[in-house]
């Protein structure tokens, strides 16, 4: 099952067609994604038995973020060896965890205003929690995941690195710094949810390419480790880290520029396309 938000309403998606869940179910299911997470298995069963024959076409621009109100957004740093290495640090023996404050979340086709010329890209697999997870064992973790989606962990590097210790959470939480989508895809839709190709590019210029099997801490291991401390709640997001190829690690460093489109994609899930513009703080002479 692929579930997204079309014109602000939860819908089951198939290609470029959408079935409005509340309308098509005659109100059996509400037009409220948070409530749907509580009945996810029932929803999948309904969608499967009902079929999508009467789904109607939508345009990509009508797609919003699949979910905008998570209680918690976890993000993992340095979860790929080649990215740790390009960052000049050893591969971690425990996952570095920070948050992206939820006000940074935005839709898969939304415009993102760059606050400065120092904004970097990080394509990431994002796990959406479907069931409360507390002290979950690794082998039980996938059953607590509603689905997977594509995310960008956009990062303003000067804020991230300002001060006596890095400010990961702040530098990664400007408005628009957490585009997600195009849909929440249930793990059973994917041939191998533990091994998905992911990449990001600007135009034809490929910036990052990797595979999620190369994560140091897999989705199940992250859920086990996070839920050993914080209960994970339905709708919570876990940004699982980025492979190598970020702009900060290049010589010279390279960052995102206005009037381009950042395209991020993950095998079997889809792609998100975010046009970039110069925000209010972006120096006029560098536009």
Question: Could you list the residues that contact Zn ion (CB under 5 A)?
Answer: 122, 153, 242
Looking at the Cβ atoms of 3 and 156, the one nearer to Zn ion is 156
Report in angstroms how near the CB of residue 122 gets to Zn ion at its nearest.
Answer: 4
- CA distances to 109, 152, 227 from 262, rounded to whole Å, are 10, 9, 32
Query: Smallest gap, in angstroms, from Cβ of residue 287 to Zn ion?
Result: 26
Supply the Cα-derived Rg of the chain in whole angstroms: 18
Residues composing the chain: 287
Q: Which is nearer to Zn ion, 5 or 160 (CB)?
A: 160
Write the DSSP string, 60-88: GGGEE-S-S--S-EEEESS-BHHHHHHTT
Whose Cβ is closer to Zn ion: residue 153's or residue 156's?
A: 153
Q: Least distance in Å: CB of 26 to Zn ion? A: 42
Of 83 and 201, nearer to Zn ion (C-beta) is 83
**CA–CA separation, 51 vs 221, rounded Å?**
34
Helix (H) or strand (E) holding 178: strand 178-185
**Beta carbons of 136 and 144 less than 8 angstroms apart:** yes
Dihedral angle over CA of 161, 165, 169, 172, nearest 10: 0
Report the nearest approach of Zn ion to the CB of residue 214 (Å).
15
Of 21 and 125, which has the nearer Cβ to Zn ion? 125
Q: Which residues contact 114 (CB under 8 A, 6 or more apart)?
A: 256, 257, 258, 276, 277, 278, 279, 282
CB of 92 to Zn ion, least distance (A): 13
Answer left, alpha or beta for residue 235, where phi above 0 means left and psi between -120 and 50 means alpha.
left
Question: Which is nearer to Zn ion, 55 or 222 (by Cβ)?
Answer: 222
Cβ-proximal residue to Zn ion, closest one: 153
Nearest in space to 242 (alpha carbons), one of 222, 216, 261, 277? 216
Closest contact distance (angstroms) between CB of 75 and Zn ion is 6
């Amino acid at each position: 099952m692929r579930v997204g938000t079309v014109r602000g309403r939860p819908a089951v998606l198939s290609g470029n067609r959408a079935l409005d869940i509340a309308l098509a179910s005659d109100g059996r299911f509400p037009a409220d994604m948070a409530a749907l997470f509580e009945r996810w298995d029932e929803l999948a069963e309904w969608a499967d038995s009902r079929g999508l024959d009467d789904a109607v076409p939508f345009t990509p621009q009508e797609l919003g973020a699949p979910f905008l109100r998570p209680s918690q957004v976890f993000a993992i740093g340095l979860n790929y060896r080649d990215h740790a290495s390009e960052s000049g640090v050893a591969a971690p023996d425990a996952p570095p965890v920070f948050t992206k404050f939820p006000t940074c979340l935005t839709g898969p086709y939304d415009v993102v205003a760059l606050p400065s010329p120092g904004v970097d890209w990080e394509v990431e697999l994002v796990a959406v929690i479907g069931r409360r997870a507390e002290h979950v064992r690794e082998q039980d973790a996938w059953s607590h995941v509603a689905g997977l989606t594509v995310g960008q962990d956009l990062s303003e590097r000067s804020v991230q690195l300002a001060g006596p210790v890095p400010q990961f959470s702040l530098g990664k939480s400007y408005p628009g710094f957490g585009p997600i989508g195009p849909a929440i895809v249930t793990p059973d839709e994917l041939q191998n949810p533990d091994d998905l190709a992911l990449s990001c590019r600007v135009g034809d210029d490929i910036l990052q390419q990797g595979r999620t099997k190369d994560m140091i801490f897999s989705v199940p291991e992250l859920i086990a480790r996070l839920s050993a401390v914080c209960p994970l709640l339905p709708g919570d997001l876990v940004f699982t880290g980025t492979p190598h190829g970020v702009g900060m690690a290049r010589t010279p460093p390279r960052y995102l520029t206005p009037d381009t489109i950042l395209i991020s994609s993950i095998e079997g899930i889809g792609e998100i396309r975010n046009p970039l513009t110069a925000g209010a703080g972006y120096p006029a002479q560098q536009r």
